[in-house]
Chains A and B, each alone.
Chain A
């Protein structure tokens, strides 16, 4: 349970959250992503007060503003990399050609333009996570929520994914909020906030 939590994140920031298991890091991400609602308090993102939104409005808001990157990648195994990345665009009014252009661009950014016809089972863990990142950015969301994005990867693949997140912040001005247990991953962030027992440890 989170309590007494007061957090402001500026656009274009890369913030890492660290803390022991059960400290509330993932719950915080869920709240920020509109997957869960707080029992009290408010969450304002780019001017939108999301805690007062109805379920359907929140879903639409999430589609527009949030890109999720999961620890376990969570790709749909029966869809190719291209089709996985295209999923969020199916909710938009983009034409088929426009969707294809967006997907190709996203996969190019993550360095997998040559793997777009591959199924997840044909990709390495690092590649799967990069597809996950491409899916997260393809609809050009306001911010990315990454829940231990390198938690399931070897060091080399983890560094590649972190390089990619870094690039998204630097070159594309994305805001990234990342939960991690990995101190090396946290080092990439502009700001590291620690959590403990549902509260943010005051920044030093």
Chain B
């Protein structure tokens, strides 16, 4: 601690330069934080997917339906303990920019299948007792200021017409990553209003009794429906969610690329700044060595200065990113999940320190190797 004053004093030597370097770290880490938030938003489905759940879709395409009658056959498949289904609705609430996912759900099995979403019993009963009943995620309800009992009109696009729902419940997510931007209504209500296409569902979700058997059960399901009019493709929920994300492009690669470029630039900028700082202080470093400070001390001191800059800048950037996420999703609910996790903050901070360490190493090494006699003569 007795050396900290020396390190801090050196940092305040050129206040503008230190502030700008800290600023570089802050901007880079702020961007990192946002990229992590976006990455989390896109891959949230993968992260929260249940290990014991399989998603069964039509082999041709997810938009091709499956017969409701297959539910019982699925339940008879060895290893399957539960099955439920849902349908994508794709309606518009007031304006097209107010996008949120709407699902017509199976009232018998959906709640049990997705136990991470909790709905109060009285609200669930009210939902079951009203054919036009609906349940909204708490983020969604908050976004539009919906209260229980509210009448919610939605214009159908896939299923034409004006649909009206009564908000009977609000579900919450158990984990912070759980998507609470969904809108559920009763599948039987949908089925009733599409006379020509009754008895079909969008996809099934099945639970396997033993998560270790997920792959075997998926194969068994697909084989069971091979050569039938509705061949199926069964994946684990994680694989299904990952495939869904992939449809939007390789977001992970894009983010990795942007992040790498930012950090590499930061590395060069900081390294150059520290090299200049060391060069300017050649005589002082020589004096420190002359009075008895070791080469190792000088090396560590220069690295410590860079790490302090990296730590302050990193904390600032990540703090700002966290603050932004606390203010809520700026897209107005387009992202199902807008959250900077503690692990992402820790990763960002570690990266920041690592960049500081690497950027400071070469200048620190040259400072450590400085020969007092040469340095005093040179300047």
Number of A-B contacts (CB under 8 A): 60
Cβ of B284 < 8 Å from any Cβ of A? Answer: yes
Indicate whether B179 reaches chain A with its CB closer than 8 angstroms: no
Please tell me if B293 contacts chain A, counting CB pairs below 8 Å: yes
Q: State which of B3-11, B167-175, B308-316 sits at the interface with chain A.
A: B3-11
A30 at the interface (CB under 8 A from B): yes
Check A68/B291 contact, CB under 8 A, given A30-B373, A83-B9, A96-B2. Answer: yes
User: Which of the residues B2, B13, B373, B376 comes within 8 Å of A78, measured between beta carbons?
Assistant: B13
Q: Are B373 and A63 in contact (CB under 8 A)?
A: no
Asked if A90 and B287 make an inter-chain contact with CB atoms under 8 angstroms apart, the answer reads no
**Which B residues touch A87, using CB under 8 A?**
6, 288, 291
| CB of B195 closer than 8 Å to a CB of A | no
Determine whether the beta carbon of A60 is less than 8 Å from that of B292: yes
A90 smallest CB distance to B (angstroms): 5
Q: Which residue of A lies closest to B287 (CB)?
A: A74
Nearest Cβ on chain A to B133's Cβ, whole angstroms: 70
Does A198 interact with chain B (Cβ within 8 Å)? no
User: In the complex the two chains form, is A91's CB within 8 Å of B13's CB?
Assistant: no
Q: In the assembled complex, how far is the CB of residue A60 from the closest CB belonging to chain B, in whole angstroms?
A: 7
A-B contacts besides A36-B373, A76-B284, 18 pairs, CB < 8 Å: A35-B373, A56-B294, A59-B294, A60-B294, A62-B292, A68-B290, A74-B284, A74-B287, A76-B287, A77-B284, A78-B9, A78-B13, A79-B9, A83-B5, A83-B9, A90-B3, A91-B292, A139-B292
Q: Which residues 35-56 in A have Cβ within 8 Å of B in the complex?
A: 35-36, 55-56
Q: Which residues of B contact A56 (CB under 8 A)?
A: 294
How many residues of B are in contact with the other chain, CB < 8 A? 22
Return the chain A residue nearest B288 by Cβ.
Answer: A87
Evaluate contact between B12 and A78: CB separation under 8 angstroms. Answer: yes
Residue A125 CB within 8 A of the other chain = no
Q: How far is the CA of A77 from the CA of B12 in the complex (A)?
A: 11
User: Which single member of B13, B292, B295, B373 contacts A55 (CB below 8 Å)?
Assistant: B295
With A and B bound together, what is the CA distance between A33 and B372 in angstroms? 11
Chain B, 68-107, contact with A by CB distance < 8 Å: what is the 0/1 string? 0000000000000000000000000000000000000000
Chain A interface residue bracket vs B: 20 to 34
Cα–Cα distance between A55 and B296 once the two chains are bound (Å): 11
In whole angstroms, what is the CA distance A80 to B361 when docked?
28
B289 within 8 A of A: yes
- Complex interface: chain A residues within 8 A of B283 (CB): 72, 74
Which A residue sits closest to B3, measured CB to CB? Answer: A90
* A119–B376 alpha-carbon span in the complex (Å): 22
A residues neighboring B (CB under 8 Å): 30, 33, 35-36, 55-56, 59-60, 62-64, 68, 70, 72, 74, 76-79, 83, 87-88, 90-91, 96, 135, 139
| Bound CA span A68–B372, Å | 12
- A33–B290 contact, CB under 8 A? yes
Cβ-defined partner of B287 (8 Å) among A33, A59, A70, A91? A70
Q: Which residues of B contact A96 (CB under 8 A)?
A: 2
Is A90 within 8 A of B2, CB to CB? yes
Chain A at the B interface: mostly helix, strand, loop or mixed?
helix
Cα separation A77 to B287 with both chains bound (whole Å): 12
309-346 of chain B: CB within 8 A of chain A: none
In chain B, what residue has the closest Cβ to A33? B290
Which B1-53 residues have C-beta < 8 A from chain A?
Answer: 2-3, 5-6, 9-10, 12-13
Complex Cα distance, B290 from A62, in Å, reads 7
State the Cβ distance, B279 to closest chain A Cβ, in Å: 16
Using CB atoms, name the residue of chain A closest to B284.
A76
- Give the complex CA separation of A83 and B291 in angstroms: 14
Find chain A residues with CB under 8 A from B9 CB: 76, 78-79, 83
Q: What B residues does A63 contact at CB under 8 A?
A: 291-293
Q: Which residues of A contact B291 (CB under 8 A)?
A: 62-63, 68, 87-88, 91, 135
Closest A residue to B292 by beta carbon equals A63
Tell me whether A79 and B6 are in contact in the complex, defined as CB-CB below 8 angstroms, given that A68-B290, A70-B287 are known contacts: yes
List, in ascending order, chain B residues with CB within 8 A of A135's CB.
Answer: 291
State A59–B291 Cα separation when bound (angstroms).
8
Docked pose: A50 CA to B357 CA in angstroms = 35
